[in-house]
Amino acid sequence: EEANQWVTSLEKVISSIRNLNNKQKSEHWIINCMRKADKNKDNKMTLKELKHFLRQINVEVSDTYAAEIFKKCDTSNSGTLEGTEIKEFYDLLTHREEIKVIYESYAKTEGQMSDEDLVSFLQKEQREQASLADAHRLIEECEMDETAKQQKRMTKDGFLMYLQQEETCIFNPAHKKVYQDMTQPLNHYFISSSHNTYLMEDQLKGPSSTEAYIKALMKSCRCVELDCWDGPHGEPVIYHGHTLTSKVLFKDVIKAIKDYAFKMSEYPVILSLENHCAVDQQKIMARYLKSILGDALVTKPLGGKMPTNFPSPK
């Protein structure tokens, strides 16, 4: 008898889910996802838990904007969202009128996109040579509603998920790697360059640091600036001359450049030396450049003869 009650109850639950309209199904899916993100299981969502939920469903927004929407939806001023507040938060955060318009123009199957509707969208809007197999793959990857997935359909939430996939990015994935001709002379290229590289903050009284060079090089910067001045104890220093910025030893900067120059890029690094040092400390600079950089420093024409053009990055 108890088993029959379980079976009957489960059948009612399944039947009620199947009979939900699209809006109710969407709300049901959102509630299920949010329950997973509700760490302490109190049926209330803190801002931190909501951010975790958004990451789960691949919605990327700034912390500031998320906090602003959270405050707007927290009508009870409790510092948490519950019930309809959670649904309102999700709707406000993900609403984009232009996506709603295009989705509805292709969602011709009971308000949802069938696999054929999706193929039509991919072919007409995305200019892709898409097939039903492609549509099925996207539905499998992006659709969170299990009922829609079984019916080979894509809901608006699934469509939002699809639009945030890497393959829909306007950026050509083939361009993630260097694709240009890199055999031209150096002066034929725009070169990623840094001005006053040593500064961590402002140009009048901020700190100078080797860390600034490391950050620039780790962003693939290929030309860094070194403003060199005579320092105490015969050690050249780098700083923004005639200002209150702090000083950093020339040799420490060269060591940092040696360690990080080619971690992010194989192409040459240009050291732009703004040299204010007297001859004695210029000699010390030259010694450090040779001893620290070693074979990485170009000290004579490549190929053993005077070139007629600049060398290429290769």
- Selecting among 52, 95, 175, 195, the annotated active-site residue is 195
SS3 content of the chain, % helix, strand, coil (to 5): 50, 10, 40
Half-sphere exposure of 91 (CA within 13 A, CB side): 10
Instruction: Name the residue among 73, 105, 65 with its Cα closest to residue 89.
Output: 73
Residue pair 33/53 in contact by the 8 Å Cβ criterion? yes
Where on the phi/psi map is residue 110: left (φ > 0), alpha (ψ -120 to 50), or beta? left
Instruction: Name the residue among 163, 168, 121 with its Cα closest to residue 142.
Output: 163
240 assigned to active site: yes
Residue pair 148/112 in contact by the 8 Å Cβ criterion? yes
E-strand stretches of the chain: 113-114, 153-154, 223-229, 237-238, 248-249, 270-275
**Most distant CA pair in the chain, distance:** 100
Q: How large is the angle between the packed helices 47-56 and 22-37, nearest 10 degrees?
A: 120
298-307: long-range pairs with CB below 8 Å, 24+: 298/268
- Selecting among 28, 240, 242, 276, the annotated active-site residue is 240
Catalytic residue numbers read 195, 240
